Chain A
């Protein structure tokens, strides 16, 4: 993992939408009085969601003021965790798992699809600026490898062709169906159960 570079192009202003402001108030209430700085991670996540998957500096300042802590405290947290994006990643942010199980099942072929269709390099916006991709470590869906995460959804059991059509849909701002692309429900076995047949509720 490399240090995430803070984007050079920054918006001047950031404010929570009314909806997120309500949510933020609720989050702060989860913590004892006087300890509201504990809400910093949740608020950063809200800000990231609101701002097309990335956190501008203005948002960090806004959160620091909201929680009455110093800017550097928020900045430290935002740079520490890899799931906070500090530069624009597009409306659709594709994370391809390339840890061993996925790699064996062909994750790098998915990477090639991204290189061809989205951008040559990781963390670079596509031509129409609504999409970018990155390689990540295990996303915990090894049973349906190879897989990719697009925003909040998992796309599993992919092959090159399917993934290419997903990417193309996304580039056209269409959101394809999430889940397994071999017709499985969650992580059920493909051709019915093979083991523990005697147990009813296994």
Chain B
């Protein structure tokens, strides 16, 4: 600990901190533009100048390490003058277009010039002009406003791992640009919008939409992938205008993926706002009463054995639980399934389907083995953590099969189950490395768990890691990356078909009545089934349905989701369902009432407490016994994910469509090499 003085207050700080951090600990606020906690130190904006005793000149506090006995002053005349001077230079070439700038109201330069600037400009010359730069469909640039803090450059190189942004030219002619003005090839690219302290990089889809003070802000979570990033949803009336990251050091730090941020315009399009019924291949609007009447007749005339339900990738746990109750108590059907394929899953213990090492834990890992997963597309934020770990610990990363660019280097092993066999039978170099590693991570993807020998691989690895004491109280090396937000919640609620044949029976057109509860990812062809779709968007599920009951999206209802680490988080209601659409659990409740003449849950609170009761109650599920544990020599393919089109909201989003078009074109012309 070092003893320093900040504005005559004595404090003790840890060694290795900068003067700026010490001042913050002492409660002295330091203005800054280029400094950012999560990025490397650049020290080029000079806004953080402070006075240090025995130093003749003011010192850039962000780049100066604290030393014993320093006497730091932040409130002297000298500091004030220095800040004014720096601010005047920054503003010399900054346009005075705040009224038409999208950053207005949340602009660091605007705020700080109010506090630390001077009221007049002495700069009489022409201001410099910089042409706009193309940075892809997400980032709008107005480079004349740029103050060259290089936060975006550092973010792209360090966090995103795609060094494509840089500063070209020098002096007054310095310009920030992507290499040859190409779109940034990263799933984290839009974070530079938040990082930009001025209005140089702003959000293209959100351009001129609203001012920050007009928006209602709701802190909630994201459902685009299973990571459960913390976000803030900004709404104007019904419409979700934009989505911003909320800091959660355990999950997403301060970043979110582009899909999380920009799929929100999908909440506006393709929405189902009234019930529909299909007659002679055409959909007709009907009222809720009529729709429920049709459904009641159908349920009553169908044999319970012939009723099945599929739950979706964005469905919250309340709805899942209500569905479970509906199927058990009223429909008397056992065929309720949440999985999209017959993936191997061992529900005997929660540890068998979670990302046990936790996202935070990735940071201390020293070896990572990827089996049938591409974290860059399946869990973007988690991939950013792996990159962070690689930069910090120089973590060794192995993958079975080549996955393309993951933003960090990794060694490719053969993508066959033989390789797995060798490792778990202790016959491979990798087995030795895993044993020697202190915090190894073995990460299974859903692609690996759909194979015939998935049980052999998963249970084999579990045994191998157990034997080598890599699964214990402190550290659990066995991990699964799920790609859907609802998956872990569904497993917690035990929503898998007990006989493991529901999906097969659906493919064989065994059922007569199928409920699709927000389910749009499936691959069966319809024959004579009557399909009821409960969900928010007109997509694959609604297209095939005979009866559509309009539901709510994740921003329009309160709902729990469990992320891939098993953290229970709540998505809060930021908006309301459009038209006659209702919250999903209400619809399920009404179906229950309709058939049973009794209500399932009095209100949401009763539902939530019943669900928590169910969750705390430990269960045993023998599903895994239905899988054969056998070794088959086969190839492990990581199934490609249509990243920008992975769920209904993203598919309805114009922005995501544009990103997808650009990305596929990039791949076709091969300009990336």
Docked CA distance A70–B186 (Å): 15
The stretch of A26-34, A75-83, A150-158 in contact with B is: A75-83
- Answer whether residue B43 sits at the interface, using C-beta atoms and an 8 A cutoff: no
Min CB gap A79→B, angstroms: 4
The listed residue (B166, B171, B173, B180) touching A76 by CB distance below 8 A is B166
- Answer whether residue B170 sits at the interface, using C-beta atoms and an 8 A cutoff: yes
The 7 closest A-B pairs by CB, nearest first: A72-B166, A70-B163, A79-B168, A3-B173, A72-B179, A3-B169, A76-B166
Min CB gap A41→B, angstroms: 14
* B164 and A2 form a contact (CB under 8 A): no
Residue of B nearest to A80 (CB): B170
* B166 and A3 form a contact (CB under 8 A): no
* B167 and A76 form a contact (CB under 8 A): yes
- Answer whether residue B165 sits at the interface, using C-beta atoms and an 8 A cutoff: yes
Residue of A nearest to B180 (CB): A57
B 162-197 to A, binary, CB cutoff 8 A, 1 in contact else 0: 011111111101010011100000000000000000
| Given pairs A57-B180, A76-B166, A79-B169, 4 additional interface contacts (CB within 8 A) | A70-B179, A71-B164, A73-B163, A75-B168
The listed residue (B165, B169, B170) touching A72 by CB distance below 8 A is B165
- Answer whether residue A1 sits at the interface, using C-beta atoms and an 8 A cutoff: yes
Docked CA distance A79–B174 (Å): 9
Residue of B nearest to A60 (CB): B179
A 62-103 to B, binary, CB cutoff 8 A, 1 in contact else 0: 000000001111011001100000000000000000000000
Q: List 11 A-B contacts (CB under 8 A).
A: A1-B171, A3-B173, A4-B169, A70-B179, A71-B179, A72-B163, A72-B179, A73-B166, A75-B168, A75-B179, A75-B180
Residue of B nearest to A57 (CB): B180
Residue of A nearest to B166 (CB): A72
Residues of B within 8 A of A4 (CB): 169
Contacting residues of chain B (500-532) with chain A, CB-CB under 8 angstroms: none
Residues of B within 8 A of A2 (CB): 173
Q: Please report the total number of B residues contacting A with Cβ < 8 Å.
A: 15
Counting chain A CB atoms within 10 Å of each CB, which of B157, B166, B167, B171 scores highest? B166
* A3 and B175 form a contact (CB under 8 A): yes
Residues of B within 8 A of A80 (CB): 168-170
* A76 and B168 form a contact (CB under 8 A): yes
A-B contacts counted at CB < 8 A amount to 36
Docked CA distance A72–B176 (Å): 11
Min CB gap B445→A, angstroms: 28
Docked CA distance A22–B165 (Å): 32
* B173 and A1 form a contact (CB under 8 A): yes
Min CB gap A118→B, angstroms: 26
A 1-43 to B, binary, CB cutoff 8 A, 1 in contact else 0: 1111000000000000000000000000000000000000000
Docked CA distance A57–B168 (Å): 14
Min CB gap A61→B, angstroms: 9
Residue of B nearest to A78 (CB): B168
Residues of A within 8 A of B166 (CB): 72-73, 75-76
Residues of A within 8 A of B157 (CB): 70
Docked CA distance A132–B179 (Å): 28
Residues of B within 8 A of A79 (CB): 168-170
Residue of A nearest to B164 (CB): A72
* A70 and B169 form a contact (CB under 8 A): no
Docked CA distance A130–B167 (Å): 32
Residues of B within 8 A of A73 (CB): 163, 166
Residues of A within 8 A of B173 (CB): 1-3
Docked CA distance A72–B178 (Å): 8
Min CB gap A91→B, angstroms: 27
Min CB gap B391→A, angstroms: 15
Residues of A within 8 A of B180 (CB): 57, 75
Min CB gap B207→A, angstroms: 26
Docked CA distance A79–B173 (Å): 10
The listed residue (A1, A3, A57, A70) touching B164 by CB distance below 8 A is A70
B 134-176 to A, binary, CB cutoff 8 A, 1 in contact else 0: 0000000000000000000000010000011111111101010
Residue of B nearest to A79 (CB): B168
Residue of B nearest to A82 (CB): B170
Contacting residues of chain A (120-136) with chain B, CB-CB under 8 angstroms: none
Residue of B nearest to A69 (CB): B163
Residues of B within 8 A of A70 (CB): 157, 163-164, 179
Docked CA distance A1–B170 (Å): 9
Docked CA distance A3–B180 (Å): 15
Docked CA distance A2–B166 (Å): 18
Docked CA distance A140–B175 (Å): 30
Docked CA distance A87–B167 (Å): 19
Docked CA distance A73–B169 (Å): 12
Docked CA distance A4–B101 (Å): 29
Residues of B within 8 A of A3 (CB): 168-169, 173, 175
Residues of A within 8 A of B165 (CB): 72
Docked CA distance A4–B157 (Å): 25
Docked CA distance A1–B157 (Å): 29
Residue of A nearest to B167 (CB): A76
Residues of A within 8 A of B175 (CB): 3
Residues of B within 8 A of A72 (CB): 163-166, 178-179
Docked CA distance A79–B157 (Å): 19
Docked CA distance A14–B497 (Å): 61
Min CB gap B157→A, angstroms: 8
Residues of B within 8 A of A1 (CB): 171, 173
Residues of A within 8 A of B169 (CB): 3-4, 79-80
Counting chain A CB atoms within 10 Å of each CB, which of B164, B170, B178 scores highest? B170
Min CB gap B183→A, angstroms: 14
Docked CA distance A4–B174 (Å): 11
Residues of B within 8 A of A71 (CB): 164, 179
Docked CA distance A1–B171 (Å): 9
Min CB gap A2→B, angstroms: 7
Residues of A within 8 A of B167 (CB): 76
Residues of A within 8 A of B171 (CB): 1
Residue of A nearest to B165 (CB): A72
Residues of A within 8 A of B168 (CB): 3, 75-76, 79-80
Residue of B nearest to A61 (CB): B673
Counting chain A CB atoms within 10 Å of each CB, which of B168, B169, B173 scores highest? B168
Min CB gap B159→A, angstroms: 15
Residues of A within 8 A of B179 (CB): 70-72, 75
Min CB gap B426→A, angstroms: 34
Docked CA distance A47–B5 (Å): 54
Min CB gap A15→B, angstroms: 16
Counting chain A CB atoms within 10 Å of each CB, which of B164, B165, B173 scores highest? B173
Counting chain B CB atoms within 10 Å of each CB, which of A2, A72, A75 scores highest? A72
Docked CA distance A75–B164 (Å): 10
Docked CA distance A79–B176 (Å): 12
Min CB gap A67→B, angstroms: 13
Min CB gap A65→B, angstroms: 9
Docked CA distance A2–B130 (Å): 12
Residue of A nearest to B171 (CB): A1
Docked CA distance A151–B165 (Å): 33
Min CB gap A198→B, angstroms: 46
Docked CA distance A3–B175 (Å): 9
Docked CA distance A135–B179 (Å): 29
Residues of B within 8 A of A57 (CB): 180
Residue of B nearest to A65 (CB): B673
Min CB gap A57→B, angstroms: 7
Docked CA distance A75–B170 (Å): 12
Min CB gap B666→A, angstroms: 14
Docked CA distance A14–B545 (Å): 58
